[in-house]
């Protein structure tokens, strides 16, 4: 039995099989992989797109989705074993994982970091505890990485560019009123490097480097493929020759939980919105962004509404890649049964 917690645990060729199957499902192939099965979708944070695409995908595979809204605060859950539970948490993840495993055949979880203590949160404690105690496959619907988004992005790139190998992928930090989770940024460098792309990050300051876990994973993947991994603070150097521009905003980890001190660093990226002038420096790059997306703050309307923009395709692909992944996990599950 396998989980899908992060693409780091999966080989490129395994993921490529999932992508190939997703493309077939998108083209109209049908599957009853979840017939007679139930899948729990546990949301510790709200969601509309993830919730829709999983819910519909499960139904299309013949399964029954059960959406559980466990918003942070309304259902505090203990994650540490051996604790005396005299605080807020009414339930231990051990019981939650064991009981859900009796009811359903697969568990998908969304649980964002709490922006309190990155040292603890970088271990992704809730979903890893769930996976340890569940007896059914666990899927990550976004925690400190967002692996389903990674697959959706890579499918959109392969559909548009054909092979992505040796192409140049630019992850550019873009403005946003607030510091955000690094999950999609972490995921962008993981998937681009794993599939053989040159990976560049454009950040307002070195303070916006991602956690070393993801930086070194990307470096190793680039080394394996003979591609380059660079971090740049100069717009022109970053955009020059890029084939893909992926926009995302995130908070700088050195200021994690004390965001007031991040403001001067954030100000350095005030001009980082993706626009036509910057795109003109690229090698006819396509542009994408996970949704939701603030227009004219992160990406200019002229770009979003141009044929270069892949964001809608990427969002649609969430449905197809998630179906393909659930089918793959379901197959492994039956192998064990």
- Per CB under 8 A, residues contacting its own copies are 38, 40, 46, 48-49, 51-53, 55-56, 59-60, 64, 66, 68, 70, 74-75, 78, 81-86, 89-92, 94-96, 98-100, 102-104, 177, 291-297, 301, 311-312, 315-316, 319
Q: How far is the CB of 12 from its own copies (least distance, A)?
A: 27
Distance CA 224, CA 194 (A): 9
**Please, which residue, 101 or 140, has the CB nearer to its own copies?**
101
Distance CA 291, CA 219 (A): 27
Whether the CB-CB separation of 18 and 43 falls below 8 Å is answered with: no
Distance CA 293, CA 247 (A): 9
**Please, which residue, 180 or 231, has the CB nearer to its own copies?**
180
Q: How far is the CB of 223 from its own copies (least distance, A)?
A: 36
Q: How far is the CB of 176 from its own copies (least distance, A)?
A: 9
Please tell me the number of Cα atoms within 13 Å of 214 on its side-chain side: 27
**Please, which residue, 44 or 229, has the CB nearer to its own copies?**
44
**Please, which residue, 64 or 213, has the CB nearer to its own copies?**
64
**Please, which residue, 135 or 220, has the CB nearer to its own copies?**
135
Q: How far is the CB of 41 from its own copies (least distance, A)?
A: 11
**Please, which residue, 277 or 291, has the CB nearer to its own copies?**
291
Which residues touch 171 (CB under 8 Å, ≥6 apart)?
185, 188, 189, 192, 199, 200, 201, 202, 246, 248
Q: Is the peptide bond before 292 cis (omega within 30 degrees of 0)?
A: yes
Whether the CB-CB separation of 111 and 146 falls below 8 Å is answered with: no
Which residues touch 183 (CB under 8 Å, ≥6 apart)?
112, 142, 143, 144, 145, 146
Q: How far is the CB of 125 from its own copies (least distance, A)?
A: 16
Q: How far is the CB of 82 from its own copies (least distance, A)?
A: 6
Q: How far is the CB of 61 from its own copies (least distance, A)?
A: 11
DSSP-derived pairing of the beta strands 77-78 and 168-173: unpaired
Secondary structure of 3-46 as H, E, C letters: CECCHHHCCHHHHHHHHHHHHHHHCCCCCCCCCCCEEEEEECCC
**Please, which residue, 243 or 298, has the CB nearer to its own copies?**
298
**Please, which residue, 78 or 150, has the CB nearer to its own copies?**
78
Q: How far is the CB of 172 from its own copies (least distance, A)?
A: 18
């Amino acid at each position: 039995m396998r989980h899908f917690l992060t693409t780091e645990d999966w080989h490129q060729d395994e993921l490529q099989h999932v992508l190939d199957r997703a493309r077939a499902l998108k083209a109209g192939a049908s599957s009853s992989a979840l017939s007679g099965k139930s899948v729990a979708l546990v949301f510790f944070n709200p969601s509309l797109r993830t919730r829709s695409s999983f819910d519909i995908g499960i139904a299309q595979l013949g399964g029954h989705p059960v959406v559980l809204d466990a918003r942070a605060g309304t259902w505090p859950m203990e994650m540490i074993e051996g604790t005396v539970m005299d605080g807020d948490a009414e339930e231990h993840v051990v019981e939650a994982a064991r009981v859900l495993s009796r009811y359903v055949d697969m568990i998908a979880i969304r649980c964002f970091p709490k922006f309190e203590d990155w040292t603890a949160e970088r271990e992704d404690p809730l979903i890893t505890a769930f996976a340890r105690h569940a007896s059914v496959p666990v899927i990550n619907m976004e925690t400190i990485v967002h692996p389903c988004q990674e697959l959706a992005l890579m499918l959109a790139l392969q559909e548009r560019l054909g092979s992505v190998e040796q192409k140049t992928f630019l992850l550019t930090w873009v403005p946003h009123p607030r510091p955000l989770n690094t999950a999609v940024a972490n995921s962008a460098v993981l998937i681009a490097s794993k599939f053989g792309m040159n990976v560049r990050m454009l950040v307002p300051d070195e303070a916006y480097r991602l956690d070393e876990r993801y930086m070194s994973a990307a470096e190793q993947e680039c080394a394996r493929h003979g591609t380059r991994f660079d971090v740049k603070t100069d717009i022109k150097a970053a955009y020059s020759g890029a084939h893909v521009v992926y926009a995302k905003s995130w908070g700088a980890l050195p200021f994690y939980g004390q965001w007031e001190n991040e403001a001067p660093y954030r100000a350095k990226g005030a001009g980082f919105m993706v626009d036509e002038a910057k795109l003109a420096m690229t090698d006819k790059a396509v542009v994408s962004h996970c949704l939701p997306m603030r227009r004219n703050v992160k990406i200019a309307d002229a770009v979003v509404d141009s044929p270069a923009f892949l964001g809608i395709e990427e969002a649609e692909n969430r449905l197809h890649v998630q179906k393909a992944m659930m089918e793959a996990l379901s197959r492994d599950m039956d192998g064990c049964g």
